[in-house]
Amino acid sequence: MLEKDDANEAMAERPLECGECKRSIAIIYTEIIGDVETNTCMCADCPEVQRRLYGTAAQLHIANQINPVITGANAQLVCGNCSTTLEDVKRGHRLGCAECYVVFEDILPLEMHAVHSLPNQLYPYKKGLPMHIGRTPGEMQTINIFSQILALDEVLKEMLSKENYEQAAILRDQIKNLTKNSSSASKSES
């Protein structure tokens, strides 16, 4: 619910300053949740109104516009190798080459977060924090059999707590088989 305040008399009893920056108010935002009604007074270009209307994504957008490191300096950023522009990246287009990851290094975590492809522990992203924690090229990797056993064991515990013994027995057999296989494999290796 958004109302433009014409500074009429009816509003005289309301606060005359923006709750955020103490400038004179232009917007009164009324939010009704259940029986509770809250009024927030804001100035004309208050970031708060964006947040209320469009959620946190708007806050991110504003932060991008305010933060000169991200927008001011990078506004004209173009990858020299493949001509992908910052605008392309912001619009969610695909990157053009490996070099793009260097050129748009700062903006990429924000873009990933915006499309929910960044785990919570990596946001807000702090410089220097390792993002990739998986395998490196050429590395041979075996997924430890214990991670499989762990997964089955977790379900087994729940089945036991629910007294679902039939399913628990099936799981226990699966775990036994895996343990047997892994021990026979390690014996044959040695």
Partner 1 sequence: MSNLNTTGHSFLCPQGLWTNNNNTIWLGSTITLYRNLDKFVFSDKLTTDKRKQIIALLSPALLTHEQLNEVRILPAEELSPLEKEFLVEHFLSHQSFHQAHSGEAFIIDKSCTFLAVFNLHDHLILQLIDAKEELENSYENLLKIENKINQSANFAFSSKFGFLTSDVTQCGTGLVVNVFLHLPMLRYSNTLNQVLAKNMADGITQTGLQGNPQDIIGDIVAFHNSYTIGTTEENIFTNLRTLATHLVIEENSLRQQMQQSTETASAEIKDRVSRAYAILVHSYKLESVEALQALSLLKLGLDMNWLKGATQADLNKLLFFSRRAHLLCHHGQHIEHDKLPHRRAEFIHQALKGLELLI
Stretch of residues binding partner 1 (CB under 8 A), selected from 8-16, 28-36, 53-61, 117-125: 117-125
Residue whose token pair is 């606060």: 15
Closest contact distance (angstroms) between CB of 73 and partner 1 is 20
DSSP designation for 76: T
175, with CB counted inside 10 A (0-12, 13-18, 19+), is middle
Contact letters for partner 1, residues 67-106 (x by CB under 8 A): --------------xxxx---------xxxxx--xx--x-
Question: Should residue 133 be labelled a site residue for partner 1 when binding is judged by CB under 8 A?
Answer: yes
DSSP designation for 124: S
The rounded distance, in Å, linking the Cα atoms of 12 and 30 is: 16
> Which residue type does 168 have?
A
Q: What pairs with residue 102 in β-bridges?
A: none
Question: Should residue 110 be labelled a site residue for partner 1 when binding is judged by CB under 8 A?
Answer: no
Enumerate residues 6+ apart whose C-beta is below 8 A from 54. none
Taking CB under 8 A as the criterion, which residues in 144-173 touch partner 1? 144-145, 147-148, 150-152, 154-155, 158-159, 164, 166-167, 170-171
Residues that bind partner 1 (CB under 8 A): 81-84, 94-98, 101-102, 105, 108, 111-112, 115-122, 130-138, 140-145, 147-148, 150-152, 154-155, 158-159, 164, 166-167, 170-171
